[in-house]
Amino acid sequence: MARNGERPPAPEPLPAPAVDAHTHLDAIGCADAADVTAAVDRAAAVGVTRVVTVADDLDSARWAARAATWDDRVFAAVALHPTRTANFDDRDRATLEELARQPRVVAIGETGLDYYWDYSPPHAQHEAFRWHIDLAKRVGKPLMIHDRDAHEDVLRILAEEGAPDTVVFHCFSGDADFARRCLDAGYVLSFAGTVTFRNAGALREAARLTPPDQMLVETDAPFLTPHPFRGRPNEPYCVPYTLRDLAALRGDDLVGLVSAVTATAERVFRLAEIPSL
């Protein structure tokens, strides 16, 4: 339903507050504090009261950490995306570690492995992933994983390095079997708009079996806009489309599901411990 870049209409407000566990406010066009406030105002108007804006390179990491100081409803995650790791050096590591220790940075991500694109060779991705795992453990913050066509190596490296206390599979893309393996390991699965796609049968089955206390919901905006607006620009205010679809898919009461998934986000990111601005 692409309409020349037109954003989807605002959904009906949720009956309980929700969290967008993974978005990219800079990529949706936010540049300054006024832009960020406007975006989270649009989200709050439909019940999405907090967002985690996520970095994929060093400039984005600096921006995300700064944006989290502009509005109390915004938190940040910082890392180098696996496709950006070909020339990952000590200066980059020092920058990310400094940012990761800031109080409103609530996760290390998105990091992991991406075998779909060939921008960074596997050995560089593996080395960077291992470093990010160690960083998450040293700073005591959850690890937010990007896993594209790399399920087995992601699990193997997590096992070899020893996973942090909390691991989030951002935009979970596996089937029911892979979901069970992740859930049995104690990992948290974050579902984006892809779970609403009607051709995503294996992913939808994975969402059916994921308990709410191991489930997050995200937009990954500006990408992965939920059905029936696939192809249009995504924003945090679109989270209710995914939550309503998940509730229908699972046969859950909407209020109960939203409340439970929000409680998971609060626990995973320790939002109650974050100092107010």
| 22 is known to lie in a ligand binding site | yes
| 153 is known to lie in a ligand binding site | no
Tell me if 87 is assigned to some domain. yes
| 146 is known to lie in a ligand binding site | yes
CB-based burial, 27-48: b 16+ in 10 Å, e otherwise: bbebeeeebbbebbebbbebbb
Tell me if 186 is assigned to some domain. yes
| 227 is known to lie in a ligand binding site | no
**pTM assigned to the model:** 0.97
Tell me if 69 is assigned to some domain. yes
CATH of the domain at 239: 3.20.20.140
Instruction: State how many domains the chain has.
Output: 1
Cα separation of 65 and 137, whole Å?
A: 19
Model confidence over 213-270: pLDDT tens digits? 999 999 999 999 999 999 999 999 999 999 999 999 999 999 999 999 999 999 999 9
| 12 is known to lie in a ligand binding site | no
The whole-number average pLDDT for the span 16-24 is 98
Model confidence over 32-71: pLDDT tens digits? 999 999 999 999 999 999 999 999 999 999 999 999 999 9
Tell me if 44 is assigned to some domain. yes
Tell me if 2 is assigned to some domain. no
Tell me if 9 is assigned to some domain. no
Model confidence over 146-190: pLDDT tens digits? 999 999 999 999 999 999 999 999 999 999 999 999 999 999 999
Domain that holds residue 119: 18-272
Tell me if 113 is assigned to some domain. yes
| 81 is known to lie in a ligand binding site | no
